Structure 1
Amino acid sequence: MANILDVSTDDNLQYQFFPVSSGSVQFKIRAPNDAHIALTMAPQESEPMYEVFIGGWGNTKSVIRRNRTKPEKVEIDTPNILNAGEFRGFWVRWDGGVISAGREGEAIPFISWCDPQPFPVGFVGVCTGWGATGTWKIEVLPPPSAPSAAALYSPPPGYPGIAPVSGGAGIWVDATSGQVPPGAVVGGQDCSGEPIYVARARHEGALIPGKLASSHGCAYVPWGGKENGKNEYQVLVGGPNSWMPTSGSNIPPGAFPGGESEDGEPLFIGRVSHEGSLTTGKVQQSHGVCYISFGGQELGFPDYEILVA
Structure 2
Amino acid sequence: MIGLSNKPDYNTCDYWIVISNHPHSYIKEGTEPRTKVYTPDILSAEEYRKFWIAWNGGFVRLGQGDDSTPIILCANKVPGLKYITFDVRTRSPVYWKFELPPMLVKPKLKTLIGGEPQWLATDHQLPEGAIIGGYEKEALYIIRAPHRGSLTPGKFVPSLGLGFIPWGYKAHEKSEFEVLCGYNCIWVPSRVNKIPVGAVVGGYSEDDGSDKLYVGRAAHEGHLIPGKVSPSHRVCYIPYNNKEIPKSSYEILIVPKRNTRYANKFFVYDIELESGSESENDESDNDTNNESYDDSDNDIVYYEEDVE
* TM norm structure 2: 0.45
Structure (1 or 2) with the greater strand fraction: 1
Does 1 or 2 have the higher relative contact order (CA < 8 Å, sep 6+)?
Answer: 1
* TM norm structure 1: 0.45
